[in-house]
Amino acid sequence: MTTDTSGMHGPLTVLSEEESAFRDAVHEFAEQEVRPRVQEMERATRIDPSLVPALFELGLMGIEVDEKYGGAGGSLMMVTLAVEEISRVDASAAIMVDVQNTLVNYPISRYGTDAQREKYLARLTSKTIGAYALSEAGSGSDAFGLATRAEKHGDDWALTGRKLWITNGADAGLFVVFVNANPDAGYKGITAFIVERDTPGFSVGKKEDKLGIRASSTTELIFDGCVVPAANVLGEVGQGYKIAIETLNVGRIGIGAQMIGIARGALEATLGYVKERKQFSTRLADFQGIQFQLAQAATELEAARLLVYNVARIKDAGGQFTREAAMAKLFASQVCERVTSLCVELHGGYGYTKDYPVEKFYRDAKIGTIYEGTSNMQLQTIAKLLLK
């Protein structure tokens, strides 16, 4: 059962004054600070370092974190709005904000000790980028087939192994890392650790050369007898699988927001283009066939937005949201692929060039069906909960 928040809030897309003001501020920031940097960041395959302090300054790196730790004390709905607005301009900048809020701040806020919260949340809201490290070369969709190990040595743990596909890997100063501290117990041995970048035995490996979200760093992490104090165990030993699943469920809402933002950006660019471009002495916008395609795309995008906003509201109201998060991520990523593909087609040959923004939106869309659980994994989750 999910919590009905409709009576408390009204229509999903009608925002409170605070939410509306926040969204407008992020929209303006995305236009003024992110948009001028997009092409150069794409060429350099990195986030412009001068953009990062601005993300912290606006409070975007600690939206839900309690104010006593330097956060904004906001909601997941506000995280959703921020990720959508930035993704409309650049998905790479948006994913930095998304991972920080949903995959790093969230588990530390939820499962950290008072000492961990005081020490790390204050940094994560003011200056330190975080990363979430679960995937390995041999465990992608099988997220808990982890080969990375943790061995107890007195009051410390020694971590050995490698992580792959770690978003923010090149930029992060802090990592939430999942390893197996008791392989004989299977997934019940999985434990979460907070690892600082300068810890001896820890290093960042190869940076991936990707199809889309190219300015977002995706790297390998190497643990070579990396010694982490017992005080840095997040939650309890053996509780890692629960923390990982719960965190990914929240993260899927963020990915849904990213996908609706990308689709919006592509659609807005295309609406402008078809009003200007003429063929056979007629604007593209005046051909009924094109009008219908755009109407269909806008309708699907609105349906995806409603799914994403709804699950964010459910989470904020304290309801169960696993199924709804899987549905939102699944559908939003599918819609994003369809909409961005159409947008490239409606631009004709121009859409296939880097002179127009739609080719980048199209490339950035693809990751949505893969990371934080592939579409097949979302279908499996939804089916399991339907049939239990």
Query: Would you name the residues annotated as active-site residues?
Result: 372
Angle in degrees, CA 381, 386, 388, rounded to 5: 95
Residues present in the chain in total:
388
Residue 239 near residue 191 (C-beta atoms within 8 A): yes
Angle in degrees, CA 145, 149, 381, rounded to 5: 25
Q: What's the token pair of residue 338? A: 């369809």
Q: What are phi and psi of 332, to 5 degrees?
A: -60, -40
Q: Please report, for residues 12, 132, 155, 322, the alpha-carbon distance to residue 190 in angstroms, rounded to integers and kept in the order given.
A: 37, 15, 18, 21
Q: What are phi and psi of 55, to 5 degrees?
A: -60, -40
Q: What's the token pair of residue 372? A: 């934080």
The CA distance from 65 to 116, in Å, is: 13
Residue 124 near residue 62 (C-beta atoms within 8 A): yes
Q: What's the token pair of residue 354? A: 């880097």
